[in-house]
């Protein structure tokens, strides 16, 4: 999942329980995102298993490229296979 934070930066994460994880973020219990509330969920994608979701998360974080992240958000899909 990708969140757009109040400072206009993106937070990239993965979880096996998105509603629960979003509750943690919105309640301020997540150290990083608590400083940049409110946030907007701008992208979610389900994967066959959690390990593929983690690989996608690490790949996105490694890119450090806002244009690619925004293209993924716009396309509503990560085109790379994991």
Instruction: Write out pLDDT tens, residues 11-32.
Output: 999 999 999 999 999 999 999 9
What DSSP string describes the chain? -EEE-TTS-EEE---S-HHHHHHHHHTT-STTGGGG-S-EEEE----SSHHHHHHHHHHHHHH--HHHHHHHHHHTS--S--
Mean pLDDT of 59-80: 90
pTM for this one?
A: 0.92
């Amino acid at each position: 999942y990708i969140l757009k934070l109040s400072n206009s930066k993106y937070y990239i994460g993965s979880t096996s329980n998105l509603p629960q994880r979003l509750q943690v973020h919105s309640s301020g219990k997540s150290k990083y995102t608590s400083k940049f509330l409110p946030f907007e969920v701008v992208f979610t994608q389900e994967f066959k298993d959690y390990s593929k979701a983690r690989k996608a998360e690490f790949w996105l974080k490694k890119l450090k490229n806002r244009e690619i992240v925004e293209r993924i958000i716009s396309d509503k899909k990560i085109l790379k296979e994991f």
